[in-house]
Amino acid sequence: MIAQLSGEPVQIGDRWVVIEVGGIGYQVQVTQPALHVLANTHEKVRLYTQMVVREDAITLYGFLQPSELEMFRILLNVSGIGPQIALNILSQIGIADFAVAILNDDEKALTRISGIGTKGAKRLILELRDKMKKIGETMIASEAGKRIPAVHDAVSALVSLGFPEKESGDAVKSAAAAMTNPPVESLIKAALLLLKDR
């Protein structure tokens, strides 16, 4: 399993880049935003990777941020979503926008992504909303047996979705300051909107 690559981009293709590491060139499939960044980079970069093994190919998918890799892995668990469609989704919509669309049942936002029709959008919402709700509603008991406040649960949920802990904490605290006794799900939605604007 190749978890990450650190090297210089030496060749750029339509949806891929070759990263040279110790004299060996690794061809890695990347998102369109990553491709634009890498096309203008002439120094060492780090890609967080997922290796997908099929009967006819072994393919590396690379991401500039760990949160993108985490979302890619989440998407691969949705029935009918393969690596190319998952990469396509991450190429056309930001993680925060995508998460907000899922939590708000926004089929229109999802069907704007090429390769995602109405059925695909409904499937994404159904499968991922349940997953995100489970993460958000999971209450972790503290050592004293008491429930940790909703703020901590919301931060944990966002970190589980791949957002950095500090940014998640700041967004949740900002969202909580504008609400009175908010449920975890409302805090997550509000924090995602704040993260989207950053």
Inter-residue contact 28 to 47 (CB < 8 Å) = yes
Q: Residue 51: pLDDT above 90?
A: yes
Q: Which residue has the higher pLDDT, 56 or 131?
A: 56
The answer for residues whose C-beta is within 8 angstroms of residue 32's C-beta and 6 or more apart is 15, 91, 92
Helix axes 118-137, 150-160, angle to 10 degrees: 130
Inter-residue contact 161 to 135 (CB < 8 Å) = yes
Full set of structural domains in the chain with CATH: 4-63 (2.40.50.140), 67-131 (1.10.150.20), 136-196 (1.10.8.10)
3-class DSSP state of 79: coil
* pLDDT attached to residue 132: 60
The model's pTM? 0.70
Q: β-strands 4-12, 45-53: how paired?
A: antiparallel
Q: Residue 177: pLDDT above 70?
A: yes
- Residue 134 — very low, low, confident or very high, per pLDDT cuts 50/70/90? low
- Residue 101 — very low, low, confident or very high, per pLDDT cuts 50/70/90? confident
Q: Residue 135: pLDDT above 70?
A: no
Q: Residue 81: pLDDT above 60?
A: yes
Q: What is the pLDDT of residues 138-165, one digit of tens each?
A: 332 322 233 335 777 788 888 888 888 8
* pLDDT attached to residue 190: 86
Q: Residue 4: pLDDT above 90?
A: yes
* pLDDT attached to residue 41: 83
Q: Residue 129: pLDDT above 70?
A: yes
* Mean pLDDT, residues 4-19: 94
The answer for residues whose C-beta is within 8 angstroms of residue 75's C-beta and 6 or more apart is 81, 85, 86, 89, 90
H helix runs in 32-149, sequence order: 32-39, 66-76, 83-92, 95-103, 107-111, 118-137
